[in-house]
Structure 1
Amino acid sequence: MRIFLTGGSGMVGRNLQAHSFAQDCELLAPSSRELDLTDQSAVLAYIKAQKPDVVVHAAGQVGGIQANMADPVGFLVNNSLMGLHVINAAYQSGVKHCVNLASSCMYPRNAPNPLKEEQVLTGELEPTNEGYALAKITATRLCQYISRMNDDVQYLTLIPCNLYGRYDKFDPAHSHMIPAVIRKIYEARVQGADTVGIWGDGEARREFMYVEDLADCVFDVIDQLAAGEALPDLMNVGLGTDYSINQYYQAIAEVVGYEGRFEHDLSKPVGMRQKLIDSSRVNALGWRAKTSLIDGIEKTYQYFLKEAK
């Protein structure tokens, strides 16, 4: 099988390339220097020349609340262009299967939890990551339109919950919560700091999945597509359980060995109060996440110590 993977240098892309399934196929993962995904003609020429069996769109400009708030234009424009160019070029080139990776940021800020796939575009988005969410919604809708227009192709979208793990970014200005907190608490322990700050009251709830579990899911889906199975065009991929921000800080402190106190900064934004997704559709296909929170944090912390601190 010949797979064109975008975002091969990102956390998800690198975990996909390291997966055992990837060793049994031809995986094309050009860097952004080799292929600019915001260049429509270049993307179309590449896919036509390489003739992949499957396209996995994992590329994106990503980051946490701080990054999204600092550059909403970049998050909207760059992610929109990449998604539209890759997915449309795949369709124009005759690629039968596309797996688009979206984000639970697409769900309305006030939607009842657990979030179900049919709730997309039913309400106002969370303002702190609206640009990113709009871009992901656009790519998702394009996949759905393509599949509905042509019975011979399957272009589907997976909506992962928040992710963390190997190859993550640990710079607080650009990273998601868990890697940022790992660095923050590690530095507090090394410096002997008595306190660590938490944005908001820490009661907002989030669902974080170890990224290797998402890689398992992507390749399970590809395997079923190759076997001719008809799959839903939109599927959540998560744990089915969530924790408060305070609980994540406590779990990371336990792994890192930090014994100080936490202080809450109530002036800081916290985003949605809860974001737990319903993964029953993908669970019905036989996939379930298998990495516990403590095991995932421990693996990520060891990676941080060896590769990223």
Structure 2
Amino acid sequence: MNQRILLTGSNGMVGKNILEHPKSKEYEFLTPSSQELNLLDQKQVRQYLLLHKPDMIIHAAGRVGGIQANMKNPVAFLSENMQMGLNLISSAYDLGVKSLMNMSSSCMYPRDAVNPLKEEMILQGELEPTNEGYALAKIASTRLCEYITRENPTLQYKTVIPCNLYGRHDKFDPLHSHMIPSVIRKISEAKSNGYNNIEIWGDGTARREFMYAGDLADFVFFAMNRFGEMPQNLNVGLGFDYSISEYYKVIASSVGFGGGFTYDLSKPTGMKQKLVDSKKLHTFGWQHTTSLEQGVEKTLQFFMDKKND
């Protein structure tokens, strides 16, 4: 009988990429919508777990967005993500679910931490203000998983800390999306409208590590088969980064935009660098396979197909 896995957030980018992966057919996935399982309602969460009895939970649900969305809605980013994580993890613990993979975020790391960011740096300094609420919620879930594993070593509640992600099923709404899908849309529209220049927030020198979401899905299946060996908290990323300007240039090349760039120095850019340390990941035995150019091409194709539907 196939292992039964509850995947929260199955309708989001990470969830859809997990379900699209060829190895997903080897498992029985429970993929409730937010109407079928409201993670903000602890009573409903407990009832769902009692009824379906999953062997493992992959918690990928959450309220997500870029800098603008985080700055505009800090209350929701803190309270909703906090409630979802604590409701699900504490209920799973109470009901004896053996394994839980908690999807977290590299925004948990201190804003002034030395890069690359090591797993041990969580709560070692002040957070980046532009996404502090989201980060606090993710830290709470991560710590709860640590406490549970410490109290009861027979339970494996572990946290995956991906770098920034992009890919198929991403959001391309400029007000709510992360950088790469937002830039794909912006440059595509600039080309369609015949613009000669594109505005970049900040000076373009801030560095970011973006991994293709299909690669994270590949990691998930790799880790599920070796969950006992996986460290308690594990960064999952590329091990290197690019400047914002470099991302714009790669995307412009894929779109076929030949214009130039201007820089709006009045806009926030967030942390100057956010690169996760990949030493434990490589020791664990996994690394990404999709290059930035390949990932942008696949994501652009998804965006164009979606636009033409």
State if a TM-score over 0.5 links the two structures. Answer: yes
Taking the aligned partners of 2:287 and 2:140, their CA distance within structure 1 comes to 27
Matching of residue 230 in structure 1 with residue 232 in structure 2 = no
- C-alpha root-mean-square deviation of aligned residues, in Å? 0.8
Q: Report 1:84-123 matches (<5 A).
A: 84-123=86-125
Q: Report 1:80-229 matches (<5 A).
A: 80-225=82-227, 229=228
Taking the aligned partners of 1:27 and 1:262, their CA distance within structure 2 comes to 45
Match of 1:108, as an amino acid? Answer: P
**Equivalent residue for 2:279?**
280
Match of 2:235, as an amino acid? Answer: N
Matching of residue 298 in structure 1 with residue 308 in structure 2 = no
TM-score using structure 2 length: 0.98
Taking the aligned partners of 1:36 and 1:207, their CA distance within structure 2 comes to 32
Deviates more, 1:122-131 or 1:87-96: 87-96
Q: Note the alpha carbon deviations across 1:184-239, whole angstroms, 9 max, x for none.
A: 000000000011100000000000000011001111111112xxx33211000000
User: Unaligned stretches of 5+ in structure 2?
Assistant: none
**Equivalent residue for 1:56?**
58
**Equivalent residue for 1:29?**
31
Tell me if the contact between 1:108 and 1:121 (Cα under 8 Å) persists in the aligned partners.
yes
Could you list the structure 1 runs, at least 4 aligned residues long, displaced by more than 2 angstroms after superposition. Answer: none
**Equivalent residue for 1:76?**
78
Matching of residue 271 in structure 1 with residue 270 in structure 2 = yes
**Equivalent residue for 1:9?**
11
Match of 1:298, as an amino acid? Answer: E
Taking the aligned partners of 2:302 and 2:38, their CA distance within structure 1 comes to 29
* SS in structure 2 of the partner of residue 224 of structure 1: coil
TM-score using structure 1 length: 0.98
Taking the aligned partners of 1:218 and 1:235, their CA distance within structure 2 comes to 12
User: Unaligned stretches of 5+ in structure 1?
Assistant: none
Match of 1:15, as an amino acid? Answer: N
* SS in structure 1 of the partner of residue 10 of structure 2: coil
Match of 2:22, as an amino acid? Answer: S
* SS in structure 1 of the partner of residue 24 of structure 2: helix
The Cα shift of 1:92 comes to: 1.1
